[in-house]
Structure 1
Amino acid sequence: MAGANGVRWAHVGLNCQDQQRTEEFYTRWFGFRRARVVETPDVRVVFLRNDAACLELFPAQAEPAARAGGDGPPNPGSVRHLAFQVDDLDAFLAAADGSFDVSLGPLGFDEHIPGWRTVWVTDPDGVVVEVSQGYVDQDPAELA
């Protein structure tokens, strides 16, 4: 759905120590597929797509930053985390069978939204990824 002036979400670009390993993480656990590879003399960029969501994987050109814990880095200018929803958080974690580095949770937020549960994990490059079940938007009438 396009917003004002036809603007719509496009993608998130991630710097990766190992593009293949990062691609495998997002394709295996989050349903992405390779959509395009762009090769230039200076860089190889891998585009991944899951419906309207798109990730752009760049080769890192600097040393890794300190890994964030919890639900992501709190400093300005940083992406705190990427987020995905699943129907059943326990089934998702059981299927992962310890394959994730969990940085926080799972936690429940029933006091905010009944049934909302979340865990935060890290991808191969230390990007914090939130996986939730049960989140729903607030009724627009309550937002006014």
Structure 2
Amino acid sequence: MKWSHVALNCRDLDATEEFYRRWFGFERAHSFPAGGSRIVFLRRGDAYLELFQASDGPPGGDGPTAAGTLRHLALQTGDVDRVLAGMGSHAQVTLGPMSFDEFIPGWRTVWLTDPDGTVVEVSQGFRSTP
């Protein structure tokens, strides 16, 4: 298991992306359509930020949606199913497992909560592509 990323909810995706690019040296690694919006991954070395368009709606299975809040934190594994099996009943799944092969072949993710309700994404197969 290794660290993957932190997901942030943003009022303005473009302004938030520009902030982290200009002041902290992040570069765009990926951008994917998501409903009527998009998800943007920024990268600086091994550090990733995942940016979501904020909404006033209720929290989803992947975390809260309000602007300025942490949506979820994410860890990378070689096998999502093995992690879930190892956790047994301690895996309080809120969403998934889901496949994102249409964006990156082999990318698969599940979201669950820790004891305090923080959403934790456990993902396999995510990688930067040129």
- Per-residue CA deviation, residues 28-63 of structure 1 (Å, 9 max, x unaligned), is xxxxxxxxxxxxxxxxxxxxxxxx99xxxxxxxxxx
Decide whether the 8 Å contact of 1:113 with 1:136 is kept in 2.
yes
Q: Decide which of 120, 125, 129 is 2:111's aligned counterpart.
A: 120
- Which segments of structure 1 move beyond 6 Å, counting only runs of 4 or more? none
Q: For structure 1, which runs of at least 5 residues remain unmatched after alignment?
A: 1-6, 8-51, 54-66, 140-144
Residue type of the alignment partner of 1:132 = S
Task: Give the aligned partner of residue 68 of structure 2.
Answer: 77
CA RMSD in angstroms comes to: 2.4
Distance 2:122 2:89 in 1: 15
2:96 aligned with 1:105: yes
**1:1-144 matched pairs, under 5 angstroms:** 68-139=59-130
Instruction: Report which of the two structures shows the higher radius of gyration computed on alpha carbons.
Output: 1
Q: CA deviation at 1:77?
A: 1.1
TM-score by length of 2: 0.54
Name whichever structure is richer in strand by fraction: 2
TM-score by length of 1: 0.49
Distance 2:85 2:107 in 1: 18
Q: CA deviation at 1:69?
A: 3.8
Count matched residues. 78
Distance 2:59 2:85 in 1: 24
Task: Give the aligned partner of residue 31 of structure 1.
Answer: none
Identity of aligned residues (%): 57
More relative contact order, 1 or 2 (CA 8 Å, 6+ apart): 2
Distance 2:67 2:84 in 1: 30
